[in-house]
Structures are given as structure tokens and as C-alpha cells.
A = this chain, B = another copy of it.
Amino acid sequence: MTPDCPLPHHEDERVLLGHGAGGRLTAELLASLVLPAAAVPPGPLEDAALLPTAPELVLSTDGFVVSPLFFPGGDIGSLAVHGTVNDLAMRGAEPLALAVALIVEEGLPLAELRAVVESLGKAAAGAGAAVITGDTKVVGRGAADRLFVTTTGVGRRLPGLCPSAARARPGDAILLSGALGRHGAAVLSTREGLGFETDLTSDSRPLHRLVRALAPLGEAVHTLRDPTRGGLAATLNEIAEASGTGAEIEESVLPVPEPVAAVCDLLGLDPLHVANEGCLVAYVPERHADEALAALRSVPEGAEAVRIGDVVAEHPRRVVLRTRIGSHRVVDVPVGEQLPRIC
């Protein structure tokens, strides 16, 4: 190309499915287009944002487009509550109120709409969060796929907690509260008709009680994240990126249930890339690791909590897996779309 050539421009580019997968394409779309265009204040991307002039309150929004609407262990209604409650929880907050916006395709059976909204109401009550406002739009047949739910939550931070992806530090222990891959594998096996349905249910559940259990550790809770879209791999990489640290995790201790491993084998997926909706990673200094692990295990949803690795100063912004045979491999962020419409 000569220097006279015009720079390539990408105005003829289009949105790809992978732009919504929570991986590298999503990060690029956000960094290069959405965030600057919307004039979002710079800083690490967190699951929920602190309210200006009221930083004890946090705000989070999430659109849910999961297909099918009903899956083993949940549905789009309960998922839409858990997802948003968990985004608040990852900033150390308990849910105060929820707002729900429905976009409904003409022709959706009212019975299905009722089932979803009832499940949503029940999940909200279960998480101690009232739905205080909402909106319903209907679009013509073919203009949406059945039902989309956008849930926004306002939460109040528990005193003393100020977790942030940017606060991970070398020497932190990395804890994981539960088994990996159940949500993604459950939705995918239903969709593909793999017949694993009876074995496998989504882990969709609220995580605020786990966070409450960690609250006595206060500032020692450096980072909390729930590994949803893009799986544990994307989450650990986001934290490494935001904090400028490296991470090393142990393959031998990663809790991957047998049915999840089977689905992943069959579909050629890495369980580290599969979405979760009911577990979190917590980063705490080494000296607080046992106390934090005990706190997580004190709550039923944290019974399987394990320590999976450590934050290191070496290889900043890179996540490394120590394999069962003692070798090391880089844990990469999925580039694009493995599991469209998983949440």
C-alpha cells in the first residue's frame, strides 16, 4: 500500500453474532464504538456502576435474550433477575429495587408470558428485591424472537465492601464458589436436543448471600466477578486486564461436573469458556484465603467453593493454566461466538 492510499475504513462493517458473546469481539466493540459514542466515563468496566452523588448505591442493567425461554433449572424470567442481582452483588451490593422492560413478539402465548413473569417475580422475592417499575412493548411477528427481558437493578453496598476488578493484587488467592459450566451446558444441550436434560440443570441463582457472607472481610475482598458470558476464561482475563496483574490457576482443582464435561467434549467446547449464572470468583489476600473460603462454604450456594489459583506479578495481563501433567498453557479469551443467546 502506498502512503497515498486512503486508510481502510470499516463503515461497511456489520455487527456479528460474536460481538455479543462476551469475548474479545465484544470488548473491541465496546472499547472502539459503544463507550466513546455514549460518552461513558472512562475506567475499568465493572458489572455495576456507582451512582454519582450517591456512591453507596450501584446501578446495573442487562438484556436477556436466552433461547429457549425455558431451560432445565430456570427460564428467562428467573435468569433476568439473578443476572442483575449478581451484577450488583459483584460490586458488594444487595438489591434494593428492580426495573423490568419486556419486548414481546406478537403471537407469544399469554400463558408463556405469565409463566415467565411469575418466575421473575418469584426470583425477585427470593433475592429480597421488589420489581418497582417496568415497561412492556410489543413488536410484530418476526421482529423479535418471542421475548426479551431487560432487567435493571439498584443496589446498596454493604458497609466496608468495595470490590473492583482493578483491585486484584499479586499474592491474592483466587477462590471459585461453585462448579463450572452448568448454565451454558444446560441451555445448549436443551437447544441441541442432546438428551442430557435430566442430568444437567443451569446453576442460575442469586449470589448476594455469598457476598453477604464475605462482608466481614471488608476491604480484603479485592475483587468479585461472576463468570457469565465468555466463562471463567473471559472473567479472569478481564480482571487481569483491569488490574495489570497475571493469574495462575490449577486445572486439577477446577470443578467441572461430569455432565458438563460430556457436553463440552461432544460439542468441542472448553468448559472455561462456558457461561455460568450461579458462581463467583473472589480475590482475597493469601492471609485471608482460609477465612474467605470458610465464609463461602457457610452458605449452601458456596458449599463447593475451592481455591483455584493465585494472582502473580509475572506475565501481567495474562492468565495461565497449570495442567494436570504439569505443563502450562495460556487461558485465552474466546474471540467470538461459541454459544449465542446463552443469557
Least distance between A248 CB and chain B CB atoms (Å): 30
Given A38-B100, A51-B132, A51-B154, are A111 and B11 neighbors across the interface (CB < 8 Å)? yes
Cα distance A139–B17 when bound, in Å?
6
Counting CB contacts under 8 A, is A192 at the interface?
A: no
Contacts of A142 in B (CB 8 A): 142, 145
A residues contacting the other copy or chain, number (CB 8 A): 86
Least distance between A116 CB and chain B CB atoms (Å): 8
Contacts of A276 in B (CB 8 A): none
Cα distance A41–B129 when bound, in Å?
12
- Inter-subunit contact A59/B15 (CB<8 Å): no
Contacts of A100 in B (CB 8 A): 38, 61
A104 touches which of B19, B62, B105, B131 (Cβ 8 Å)? B19
Contacts of A40 in B (CB 8 A): 121, 130-134
| Interface 0/1 of A25-63, CB less than 8 Å to B | 010011001100111110000101111111001011111
Chain copies in the assembled complex: 2
CB nearest neighbor in B for A141: B17
Cα distance A133–B150 when bound, in Å?
13
- Inter-subunit contact A117/B37 (CB<8 Å): yes
Contacts of A315 in B (CB 8 A): none
Cα distance A59–B51 when bound, in Å?
12
A34 touches which of B16, B33, B34, B134 (Cβ 8 Å)? B134
Contacts of A258 in B (CB 8 A): none
CB nearest neighbor in B for A11: B111
Q: Which A residues form the contact surface with B (CB < 8 A)?
A: 10-21, 26, 29-30, 33-34, 37-41, 46, 48-54, 57, 59-65, 67, 96-97, 99-111, 113-114, 117-118, 120-122, 124-125, 130-140, 142-145, 148, 150, 152, 154, 156, 337, 340-341
Q: Give 15 A-B contacts (CB < 8 Å), ordered by A residue.
A: A14-B108, A15-B105, A15-B108, A16-B106, A17-B138, A40-B130, A49-B132, A53-B96, A59-B132, A61-B134, A63-B103, A101-B101, A103-B148, A139-B341, A150-B150
